[in-house]
Every structure is written in C-alpha cells, then in structure tokens.
Structure 1
Amino acid sequence: MKNLVLVILVLLSLYGRAEELKSPNGLQKLEFELKDGYPTYQLFFNNKPVIRESRLGFDLKNEADLLSGFAVDGVERSTFDQSWEPVWGEEKSIRNHYNEMAVTLKQTETDRKMVVRFRLFDDGLGFRYEFPEQANLTYFVIKEEKTQFAMPGDITAWWIPGDYDTQEYSYHKTKLSEIRGLMEKAITPNESQKAAGPTCVQTALMLKSDDGLYINLHEAALINYACMHLNLDDQKMIFTSQLTPDAVGDKGYMQAPCTSPWRTVIVSDKAGDILLSHITLNLNEPCKIEDTSWIKPVKYVGVWWEMITGKSSWAYADVPSVQLGVTDFSKLTTNGRHAANTAHVKEYIDFAAQYGFDGVLVEGWNVGWEDWFGKSKDYVFDFVTPYPDFDVDELQQYAADKGVQIIMHHETSGSVRNYERHLDEAYQFMVDHGYHAVKSGYVGDIIPRGETHYSQFIVNHYQYAIEKAADYKIMVNAHEAVRPTGICRTYPNLIGNESARGTEYESFGGNTPDHTTILPFTRLIGGPMDYTPGIFEQDVSQYNPDNHSWVNTTIARQLALYVTMYSPLQMAADLPETYKKYLDAFQFIVDVPVDWDDSKVLEAEPGDYITYARKEKGTDNWFVGRTNDEEPRTSKISLDFLPEGQKYLATVYHDAKDAHYKNNPKAYEIEKFVVTNKSKFELFCAPGGGYAISLMKANDPKALKGIKKH
C-alpha cells in the first residue's frame, strides 16, 4: 500500500495538477500544468483562448536541458496593488496591480531548480524564469530559450522580419501561414542586417484572432540577456522564442542567482487597450536615479534633415581617408556643404529661441565623418574634437544667452569598444560645455566583429552607456540600439530610442502610409520612439535635386504624429525656412507639449487609424491627434473627456477635402470653435492624412467672442 501511494505521488508530481491564476478583474485566466514532466501554460481572456498549451524551458550548452523531468517543488501566490508616478510619461500616475504565482520546479534527476514567475494583470500576462542560488546550477550557457506561444489558429499578424541587427523594416499584415512566402520580399536592404530565419519575426508583435481578440507579444526588462525573436512553426501555429546569438553562436551566459527578462502577452477585445497598457513598464524595476530633477522632456529642432536629404553634409571635407591623431583637419579644404558650422548652427539656435524650442541637435560637428560609413573601422571618432568651422565655446555661450541647449551627437559607427574607450571623457566634455542630452548612433556592423546589435554582449553595452550617462546627469536618445523594453522606468534618462524605421526613411524611398498606424501597436509598446516628425515639404528634390523621394503624408498628419507617436523627446524635423512658409500650421508644433497627465484612445485599429487625446501635464489643456492609412475615412469623436461645464477653444488642423498624400499633401484647413464635453466632431481624413486639435481651456470668456460654437 505504501508503494502504491508513493507511485501516485510521483505521478502527480510529474503530471501535476493544473495551477490556476486569475487577473484582479477575473477576465484573464492562466493555467499552469506539468505534462509528463514538461512545464506548460495556457492563457484565456473572457474564456476565449489566447495562448494554447505551450511549453517552457531551455536548451543548455554541454549539459542536460531544462525542458522536462520536472516536479513541482512549491507554489507561492501573492497580490500586488500600488500606484507610481513616472518622471515623464503618458499618465501622471500608473497603477501596478496584478496577481502573482511563482512555481518552483525541481528537475528530479539533476536536482536543479527553476522558478517560473507569472504576473497576471487585467490587461495581460508577464512571466519570467528565475534561477535561485543552488549547488547544481551556477554557471551555464544558454543554447536556446524554448518558450512557446501557441496561437489560437492561423490568425492575423502585423510583422517585420526577424533580424539580429535591425528593426528598420516596413510592416506586413498577413495571416501567420503567409509569413514564409513573403519573408524574402520583406527583407529590404539595410546598412547592417542579419536575417534570423524564414518564419522568424520580431517583437513587439501585434496579432488579432478570428474572434476579435487583440494580442501583443513582447518582452520587458531586457537586462544582461539576448534580445528575443519569435520563430513560427507555421504548421502548428506555435511561436518559439529565438534569442540573438553572439559571435560564437551562444545565446546567453548566466550565473545564478539570475533571471530572464519578462515575456509579455497583452490582450483585450479592444484595440485601444493594447495602446494604453502599462505592463511593460510595470514589469521593470522602480527608478534607480535618486535625483531626477535634471531629467526633462525636450522639444527640439536640429541640423539633421538637410543631411538626410543630401542637401548638406556631415563631413567637413571631400577626402578619401582621415585618421584621428594623424590628419590635420585645419589644413583640409571644406567642401562647402558642411552643415555643422558655427554660423549655420546659430541660425537654428535663433529659430529655436524664437519659437520656444528647448534644444538644437547638431550632427556632424566632430572630426572623422569623411570615411567611416561602411568601413568597419574601430577608431573612428573621439567624441570631443570639433571640426575647424565649429566653435564649441562660442556656440555654448550663444545658445545659453538665448535660453536654448545644444544636444550632443555621438555616432559610434557600431564600434562599441571605441565608444566605451572614450565614454567618460565624452560625457565630461558634455558636462563642461552645457550639453544635457545626447543622441547616440550605432550605424553599421558591430565591433567587436561577429557580434550583432541585439546580442547579450551589446545589450549590456547599451545599458552601460545609459547608467554611465546617469552618473553625469545626461539624457540618452539611442538610435540603432536594441528595441526598448520599459527600462526607461528604471533609468528615465533613457529619454528616447529609434529602433524602427523612422522618418529618415522618407528620404530613402518612403514609408508606407499605414506605418504610423502600426508603430504604436508594435515598437512603442516597449517605450517612446524618436520618430522625428514634422516634415512639411513632401518633395525631397526641393532640397536635393538628385533625391526624388517623396514623404508619404499630408501636413495635417505630420501634426497629428506629435500626439499619436508618444515621446518625451519630439523633434520638429524639417528646415526652419520651410516652417516659415506654413507658420499657421507650424503653430500646433509650437503649442503641443511633450509630457502628459492623461491619455485616451478615441479610435484605433492597427494598420488603419489611431486617434489619441492627451492632457498636458500640469494644465487643463488637451491635444488630439489622428493618423490615417491610405484609405479615405471619416473620423467620429466625442469630446466627452473634457470637464463638464467648461468651455474650450478648439483649433482644428485638418485635411482639406481634396487632400491626398501623393498629389495634394499640403492641402489643409484650420478652423476654430468653442466646444464643451458635449461637442462631437466628424472630420475627413485623407489618404495618408489625419488631423490635430488643440483644446485650450477658456479662462477668459472674452477670448471666445466671435468664435462659432460646435
């Protein structure tokens, strides 16, 4: 009889009983169960399947895997409910409310332990692996993480190709079964790229099930770990995690006690709930910077778009080769197209001061730009030596007198070893000259050679640069770095990222009109993007006759992007002389803030349209933005988010009836109305168009005299 009981207990531990966890509101339900010693989980929303039975675990290098042979060694449950205030953000206060279940698994043959910690929120799931300190598992190398996400059928996805070096691709909307057939076409050229496989895609991945569930797969708190991709079994419709390998093919070097990043599944039957989810931020640690008073949102202009279009040059001279410490730049003859010269930068500073912008980004100020591109060159820049025509001290004083800060630019050319070699000196140079923010770039193949932009080693470099910057009270806007995973909660000096196909591609052949209706559902799930909107001249040849690119947008939609593409770092990217031609439309860019107390999604469907309303931090003013795809649509919104009984002055910047992103992009109209929370709008959105609305609280009734009511 004793032996029978023992056998039953062993079988129960191997097969397990389902452990259930529900979200605080009861709509989300997680089931965890051991099946033949394999850990599995399922997720349901309102009794609809979100993730079918999926396995968990790891393949390890040169030792037994952590996939099977487990028994449950303990289950701990808890509830957490607390609100916190971000240094900057889309909301003044964020609620972090979840139910948690930590399942300790013991591999019976090896006596190794692994904890799977689940946190179930009202808007989805976060889970991660934890490896406690133990005798039989201390140092180990990950061959592959084997986390599965089994989809509820052949559902719709908005995806970009899996790539270990870049996310700068256009999105495709297809069924999962169609990914393989389109992958070759989807992989368009980039300066640095390494495709991850014929059915491998990147996160954040946006999906929609046939029964109307919106599902988003991503990760949070990517620290000391390789970036995750998702490899699809297109017969079974199961995604499996695929980590970015390092130069020798390994996926991760671990030392217990340690954890993986969180794997996230955001789900709702409303598209707008995906955009408003704070799961990614909530799964990161609280802010580690004690004094955050120096971290401030920034609206800026910059010496940038004129180089992107080819009108001007980053390089000082047209010579085939330069070497720092060898080349005497003062003896070179300038090419006459170098944009970062003292007189020209002063023009941008004057423009910024006139219209109330916080900063001026200057690219191409430092020596070394002549021959770095595509050369896999180690010692390219020293980040402290200006070109002969860029007077650091004079411009520092000129900007300070105008109340404008200059934003530093560090292009690493992918040589992270060289950047770390100079980092302390470069940051101290910034402090000494009053630069409080830096745009860093990682264009090209990574050095050390063989590494990629998303491997564990390089992810650790990005984190090192952010933390080192915090020591110097410097804000970081990292371009070409790994896509964000909410780390800005812990280190809010990470004020921006690129890590996607941004506005610069409008000068390289164009983004599709639906691009900005997808990015908030994908790239922005992990954190804000420095998308650099505000392009008013769609015909790039007006700046550079040799560049025949076209910016696929109307002017009205460019205004909307300041609301729909959230970032505490927003650029007015076009040239000052262009803005001066359209000062009535430019006024919205002048007025729109970059920090918010509240955000609401009024309309949303990925790939089609998004309409946001946001409340300016510290005021009662609201701003509305709508971005539209290539189909003409009518947007219908209510202003019921306004306080009852209060009148507002609404300034509406919208597409004209004959506007079109291809043949009439500059056709816009500006109208003013007196509105209340009972007001409603029906606004035409042109193909590739949209609208923007400023809603200013009317403190003085006289200011509304003569303006029609809506």
Structure 2
Amino acid sequence: MISRLCFCLTLISFGVSSHAQTIHSPDRKLTLQFQLNAAGEPTYQLRFGAKPVVKPSRLAILLQGQPGFDKGFTIAKIDSSVHDDTWTPVWGEVKQIRNHYRELAVTVQQAAVQNRQLVLRFRLFDDGLGFRYEFPAQDNLKYFTVQDELTEFNLPANHKAFWIPGDYDSNEYTYSTTRLNAVNTTPIEPIQLKSAPTTVQTPLMLKADDGLYLNIHEAALVNYPAMMLNVNTQSFGLSSQLVPSATGAKAYLQTPEHTPWRTIVVADNAPAILASKLILNLNEPSKIADTGWIQPQKFVGVWWEMHVNKAAWNYSDASNLKLAGTDWAALKPNGRHGANTANVKRYIDFAAKNGLQSVLVEGWNVGWEDWAGNWKEEVFDFVTPYPDFDVSELQRYAAGKNVKLIMHHETSGSVTNYERRMDAAYRFMKAHGYDAAKTGYVGRIIPRGEHHDGQWMVNHYVHVADQMAQNRLMVDMHESVRPTGLHRTYPNWLANEAARGNEFNAWSSGNPPEHETILPFTRLMGGPMDYTPGIFQIKLEDWNPERNKDKQVHTTLAKQAALYVTMYSPLQMAADLPEAYEKHLDAFQFIKDVAVDWDDTRILAAEPGDYLTIARRAKGKDEWYLGAITDEQARTQTVKLNFLTPGRRYTATIYADGKNADWEKNPMAYQIRKVQVTSKSALKLQMAAGGGAAISFKGL
C-alpha cells in the first residue's frame, strides 16, 4: 500500500429529512443522488456531467414470509467518507491499481417493522458507481430468505445493447446487438435453461446516442445468486432478476450479511470502459498471505484433438458403466483415447522445446464412457487413471523436462460427488506434482437441479477456490458463473470460461468475427477468460474430413495470435495441436514470446462489436506486445507508439494478415516483417475481414 486518505462525516438523527443526499466522484464528473420518495422507498440517480446516466430508480429487497425492505423507510444515519489508496495485484494487467472513491452510507429504518434497519452503501469512483445492500445484526432480523431483489437501472433512452440471454445455467451464447426495445431472446435456441424473453445477462454493455458508454455488472459475488437484468422494452428500464434456487427462493441469509456490489461503469469513450478497475476495487484484498507459488503461465494440452474428432476423452466405447467395481483394464479400448502416456509425452516434449510451462490433460481419469447427458451421481473419483495413463511415469517424465501437468476435474454436474472427493483429489494432485486444475460443470447440477448461477453453486465455486488455496493449488473453472473480480481475493483463481469459447468453432455454427471484439466489453469486465486462443489450422477438415466438413475457426491466423493480447488472462493456452504449430513455427514465435503478466496496459483504440487494439508491457521487462483485431470488416489503422520508452530503439516484429487474407476465404494467409521503431514512430496496420495483427517490441 502506497497511500491512504480517509475523511468521514457522520450525521445521526432519527427522523432525518428525506431530502436528497448528493456526492460527487473525486474528479467531480459523476454525481450520485440518493433520496427517499413519498412512499419511503429508497431511490438513486446518476449523472455524468449534465448527462443522465440512470434516472431515479428504486432499490428494494423482498423477503419470504415477512415484510420486505422496500418502503416505509426513514433515514436514521448518514455516513460520508473519502478513500484513496494504491494496491499491487498478485498478477494482472497493470502493476498498481489506485482505489479512489467517495462513499455514502445511508442507514434507513422501517418504523412499522420494529424499526428494522438496512444500510445502502454507495461508492462513487471517477469511472463509475458501486452500491450494495447491507443487513446489520439486529434483534428483529436474524435468519431470512430473499424472495426477490428489485434493483432498478432506469435508463434515459433506447441505448444500443450488446447482450446474451438470461440463461441460469450457461453463458455460452453469441452476442446480439440491438436497441433495448428490440431485446427478445425467443428466437435464440437455449443451451440449457432460460428465463423470460426480455431477461439478459450481465455484464451488459450499452452505448448511448449522446456518446456515453455504460457497463452494468456486479462485484464480489459471494453467498448470493448471480444477477440477470429484466429489460422493459417500452421505458428502457432495467431491473434485477436473481437466479432462483431449486426451491424457487433466491437466497438464504443470516445477519450480518450484504449483497454483492451492483456496478455501473461509465465513460465518454470506449477505451476507458476497458481500463476501469472499479470491479476489482470493490473486491476484498487477497486472503492468501504467501502468493509466491501462484504462477501465471502458458500451456498446451490434450484437448483440441478431441474437439476436432481426432481423438476421444473416453478409453472404451462401453456404456452403462458404474465407477465402483468396474474392471477398467478388462474393457476393450477404442483406439482413439487421447490421454495416453505416449501422446501426453509428445505434448510434454513440445512444451519443453518451446518454453511453455505446462500441459493440460483431459480424459485421463476413468468414467468418460457414458456420463454425457445422463444425471448420474458418481461418475468420476478424480484419482483413478485409465489403464493407458501412467501417472507416476508422466510425473517423472514431465519433471525431467521442467514441465508441469495440469489436472482436469470434470464434475459432470455431480457437485456433491466432487465435494465428497475433493480432499482425496487434492492430495492426489499434490502427491503427483500437479499445481493446477481445470474444473468443469457440464450438465444439470446434481442432486437437486440447482442452477449454475444460483446461490448454492456460487458458494461451491468460492469453496473450491478456497480449498485449492489452502492446498497451494491454482484453478481454472469452466461452465461456472461469470466472474465478478474475486480473483483479487483468491489470486489462485486464475481464470474462468463462463462464455462462448474458441471450441465452439469446432462443432457448432461457430463464433462470428465480431465475437472477440465484444467479449472484452462484456464477459471480461469481471475477470480473465480461458478463451483458448492460438488455433492456427483454421480449416478443420484437415483433422477429420468426414466429421469436420466445412468447419473452421471464424478468424484469420494473425487474429488468433492477437487474441493473446486482447483477451486478457494470466493462464493462456496454445490451444492447437503441436503439428499445427510445427507447420507455422515463424508465426508460433509470437505465442512463445508473448507475456501473460503485465506491468502496464494501454487501450489504444476500441469500439464494442467493431475493433480493439491494446498494447501491454511485460512484467519486469521493457518489452511490449500489441494485439489488434477487427470484426467482419477489413480495417486500416495507424498506431502511434508513444507508449514505448522515449529515447530507446526497439525491434518491432509484426505478424499481420497476408495481402489476400480473409477469415472465410483465405484465413491462413499471413506475413511477418521486422522494423526498427521508437516512441515517435507510427505503424500502419491493415487488417483483413475477421483479421488482426500481433506485434512484439523488444529493445535493441
């Protein structure tokens, strides 16, 4: 911590006037106003200069079986303070983060309900607002059930919105770009479960016609369900929709308790939205005292070959197997099992040769034969390998090559089974030299049918991160709730999937070229994504002509390289097969070189759904890496290099789209050139349709 300033003012008066309470952001561009209306309902509004961001909007929590925290309030106490400090993340996009805000905490009470109290806490930053509900310990409120949260975000106009359906169990959709009055999820095929036709997920990215950009999400999601947003297509108002539990209730709580922060990031330019650290600042500091064992890294893995039908997760084609009592060695192997000792050694060799730190292996453990689509309680035990996967030999071999293996824990939705076996699984990892695991939650949650984004599962994800931290293990969660900045509190929680990743290009309609220009403004606002970039064999027929006919990745090869900069994660996969990289070793050099942990990040150009250009400086080095991507439109962009150290010369190695490159017609055409540059130089980048450019800057 470098500096701290805190100034507090408290006004205590039972029956304080309901007149508006107003605070300004430190730079005074944002203004928050809180007020009780005539019915004693809490309301707030937000302005950016003279422009309305959120019109007067109500705040309410409804309870099951007792009066709600919704009306009949008077103000009991008002606290105001200023906070300013700087903190250093364990890993991240920048070396230090300033946490500077003005806070307003309003305690309101309901005389008609035994003077029951609620605290509404607001933190106003230069880049936006965070607020939450707090339930103090009090004699007349101990255990309670949240039936609904009625937080409103009443918008002043029919903004342009980038949205996906409010599915309670999946985030794996492509984005729709419409006006708010056109939000309708009915034509979209649901992946698992879905709420009302006008319910969308957060983070929700919005663009106003008056030039403002807004992002609505939440921070520090703990012991509470995820928040979706109901869209009023007539008034353009948004209201919270909490993911229900299996019983229909939203949350089971005990005082003292509080909700997650509701966040509104606002700016008059798109790059400032991406530069915001508001969500991280609203999370608690690290719970891990010694973080030296947490290592950002790049990895390869036995994974993509299964998606492109070159190999299989399952060892046998038998069905109706049960974990207990099965003689796995007696089963007839199908000859397609990818996680075999010889194949994994091949990946270890490739990682060692190219300076990649680790190898993920999926399908190593028994149970993959028939779980998909079945509601089975005990599928995996997370400690029993298939007969052709020699755990001890691979531990020895990887250690000899200075490469780590990443464990895969697919729960198959049987979360209680995973929790029962968690201790044994983590002991097994430690005993065999594994430092990290990728978890998965495919399918409906067993046993009660809880939703992936409900309170019960939210608590499970935090429990996994905490238990892995206690075992000095890192985790990458897939099919989980979208992140809300908890990687500050649990820095061993390196990444999540929680969105439509690169693998959808292998077996679906794929991801449209604009997809990667939207994700940083939506899903990545809450935290890093394991997007699995780096697919160089764009046309997938080469791996399996029969099954992959007409399948391809919807980008150029150069754009796949650029994603390592534009799609931030401290855990980056070189996702293609080794043989694909061996055909393009000159382009693979960028993946070998690019960092995964950064001291500085500059958003050079951005527009959601259109384009994005980011430059980042590697941790502890005077090396910069730049990624530029575009949607389906070809673009030419001139990039000023004034982020480079003045007075120093650099070699810029430019990995760009080829002359006739096109994501659909000619995606693998690329060119590489080197030029010497300084901070006074500028580079002209020509990006093909669905293309991009990646550049490394190394000092001479």
Report the TM-score, using the length of structure 1 for normalisation: 0.95
Which residue does 1:116 correspond to in 2?
120
Which residue does 1:706 correspond to in 2?
none
Equivalents in 2 of 1:44, 1:71: separation in Å?
Answer: 25
Q: Evaluate the alpha carbon distance shift between residue 388 and residue 11 of structure 1 in structure 2; reply closer, same or farther with a 3 A threshold.
A: closer
Residues 554 and 661 in structure 1, CA contact (< 8 A), matched pair in contact too: yes
Q: 2:525 matched to 1:522?
A: no
SS in 1 for 2:595: coil
Q: 2:580 matched to 1:581?
A: no
Residues 15 and 74 in structure 2, CA contact (< 8 A), matched pair in contact too: no
In the TM superposition, what whole-angstrom CA distance separates every residue of 1:36-66 from its partner, at most 9, and x where no partner exists? 1111000111221111110001111111111
SS in 1 for 2:426: helix
Which residue does 2:533 correspond to in 1?
533
Deviation at 1:185, TM superposition (A): 2.2
Q: 2:133 matched to 1:129?
A: yes
Which residue does 2:279 correspond to in 1?
280
Q: Which runs of 4+ in 1 moved over 2 A?
A: 9-13
Which residue does 2:85 correspond to in 1?
82
Which residue does 1:560 correspond to in 2?
562
Deviation at 1:681, TM superposition (A): 1.2
Residues 602 and 612 in structure 1, CA contact (< 8 A), matched pair in contact too: yes
Which residue does 1:94 correspond to in 2?
97
Residues 300 and 352 in structure 1, CA contact (< 8 A), matched pair in contact too: yes
Q: Structure 2 unaligned runs (5+)?
A: 1-12
Letter in 2 for 1:61: Q
In the TM superposition, what whole-angstrom CA distance separates every residue of 1:623-645 from its partner, at most 9, and x where no partner exists? 00011100011112100011111
Letter in 1 for 2:41: Y
Q: 2:167 aligns with which of 153, 163, 184?
A: 163
Equivalents in 1 of 2:44, 2:92: separation in Å?
Answer: 33
Equivalents in 1 of 2:158, 2:671: separation in Å?
Answer: 43
Which residue does 1:55 correspond to in 2?
58
In the TM superposition, what whole-angstrom CA distance separates every residue of 1:70-127 from its partner, at most 9, and x where no partner exists? 0011110111111111111000101111010100011121111000000000000000
Which residue does 1:669 correspond to in 2?
671
Q: 2:47 matched to 1:44?
A: yes
In the TM superposition, what whole-angstrom CA distance separates every residue of 1:482-511 from its partner, at most 9, and x where no partner exists? 110000000000001000000110112210
Q: 2:140 matched to 1:139?
A: no
Deviation at 1:658, TM superposition (A): 1.1
Report the TM-score, using the length of structure 2 for normalisation: 0.97
Which residue does 1:408 correspond to in 2?
407
Residues 152 and 209 in structure 1, CA contact (< 8 A), matched pair in contact too: no
Letter in 2 for 1:303: V
Residues 203 and 217 in structure 1, CA contact (< 8 A), matched pair in contact too: yes
Deviation at 1:10, TM superposition (A): 9.9
Which residue does 1:376 correspond to in 2?
375
Which residue does 1:707 correspond to in 2?
none
SS in 2 for 1:460: helix
In the TM superposition, what whole-angstrom CA distance separates every residue of 1:269-319 from its partner, at most 9, and x where no partner exists? 010011010011100000010110100001000000000111100000011
Equivalents in 1 of 2:644, 2:326: separation in Å?
Answer: 62
Which residue does 2:205 correspond to in 1?
206
In the TM superposition, what whole-angstrom CA distance separates every residue of 1:605-639 from its partner, at most 9, and x where no partner exists? 00000000000000000000011100011112100
In the TM superposition, what whole-angstrom CA distance separates every residue of 1:361-401 from its partner, at most 9, and x where no partner exists? 00000000001101011100000000000000000000000
Q: Counterparts of 1:159-198 in structure 2 under 5 Å?
A: 159-180=163-184, 183-186=185-188, 188-190=189-191, 193-198=192-197
Q: Counterparts of 1:244-393 in structure 2 under 5 Å?
A: 244-393=243-392
Q: 2:548 matched to 1:547?
A: yes
Q: Counterparts of 1:598-613 in structure 2 under 5 Å?
A: 598-613=600-615
Which residue does 1:708 correspond to in 2?
none
Deviation at 1:327, TM superposition (A): 1.2
Which residue does 2:592 correspond to in 1?
590
Which residue does 1:5 correspond to in 2?
none
Residues 312 and 337 in structure 1, CA contact (< 8 A), matched pair in contact too: yes
Deviation at 1:694, TM superposition (A): 0.1
SS in 2 for 1:517: helix
SS in 1 for 2:350: helix
Residues 299 and 570 in structure 1, CA contact (< 8 A), matched pair in contact too: yes
Deviation at 1:12, TM superposition (A): 6.9
In the TM superposition, what whole-angstrom CA distance separates every residue of 1:195-235 from its partner, at most 9, and x where no partner exists? 11110000000000110100000000000001100011112
SS in 2 for 1:284: coil
Residues 228 and 243 in structure 2, CA contact (< 8 A), matched pair in contact too: yes
Residues 179 and 199 in structure 1, CA contact (< 8 A), matched pair in contact too: yes
Equivalents in 2 of 1:547, 1:592: separation in Å?
Answer: 31
Equivalents in 1 of 2:447, 2:232: separation in Å?
Answer: 33
SS in 2 for 1:82: strand
Equivalents in 2 of 1:426, 1:388: separation in Å?
Answer: 18
Q: Structure 1 unaligned runs (5+)?
A: 1-8, 699-710
Deviation at 1:682, TM superposition (A): 1.4
Residues 317 and 370 in structure 1, CA contact (< 8 A), matched pair in contact too: yes
In the TM superposition, what whole-angstrom CA distance separates every residue of 1:252-271 from its partner, at most 9, and x where no partner exists? 01111000000000000010
Equivalents in 1 of 2:33, 2:96: separation in Å?
Answer: 31
SS in 2 for 1:492: coil
Letter in 2 for 1:413: S
Equivalents in 2 of 1:78, 1:261: separation in Å?
Answer: 20
Letter in 2 for 1:587: Q
Equivalents in 2 of 1:598, 1:203: separation in Å?
Answer: 27
Equivalents in 1 of 2:447, 2:246: separation in Å?
Answer: 9
Which residue does 1:73 correspond to in 2?
76
Letter in 1 for 2:612: I
Deviation at 1:137, TM superposition (A): 1.5
Which residue does 2:36 correspond to in 1?
34
Q: 2:639 matched to 1:637?
A: yes
The 10-residue stretch of structure 1 (602-611 or 43-52) with the greater mean CA deviation from structure 2: 43-52
Which residue does 1:687 correspond to in 2?
689
Which residue does 1:702 correspond to in 2?
none
SS in 2 for 1:104: strand
Letter in 1 for 2:674: K
Residues 146 and 253 in structure 2, CA contact (< 8 A), matched pair in contact too: yes
Which residue does 2:21 correspond to in 1?
19
Equivalents in 2 of 1:691, 1:119: separation in Å?
Answer: 39
Which residue does 2:7 correspond to in 1?
none
Q: Evaluate the alpha carbon distance shift between residue 189 and residue 68 of structure 1 in structure 2; reply closer, same or farther with a 3 A threshold.
A: closer
In the TM superposition, what whole-angstrom CA distance separates every residue of 1:315-364 from its partner, at most 9, and x where no partner exists? 00011221112210000111110000000100000000000000000000
Residues 204 and 523 in structure 1, CA contact (< 8 A), matched pair in contact too: yes
SS in 1 for 2:660: coil
Residues 16 and 77 in structure 2, CA contact (< 8 A), matched pair in contact too: no
Which residue does 1:474 correspond to in 2?
473
Equivalents in 2 of 1:635, 1:666: separation in Å?
Answer: 21
Equivalents in 2 of 1:394, 1:45: separation in Å?
Answer: 61
Which residue does 1:696 correspond to in 2?
698
Deviation at 1:189, TM superposition (A): 4.6
Q: 2:153 matched to 1:149?
A: yes
Deviation at 1:136, TM superposition (A): 1.5
Letter in 2 for 1:280: I
Which residue does 1:237 correspond to in 2?
236
Equivalents in 1 of 2:693, 2:379: separation in Å?
Answer: 44
SS in 1 for 2:524: helix
SS in 2 for 1:369: coil
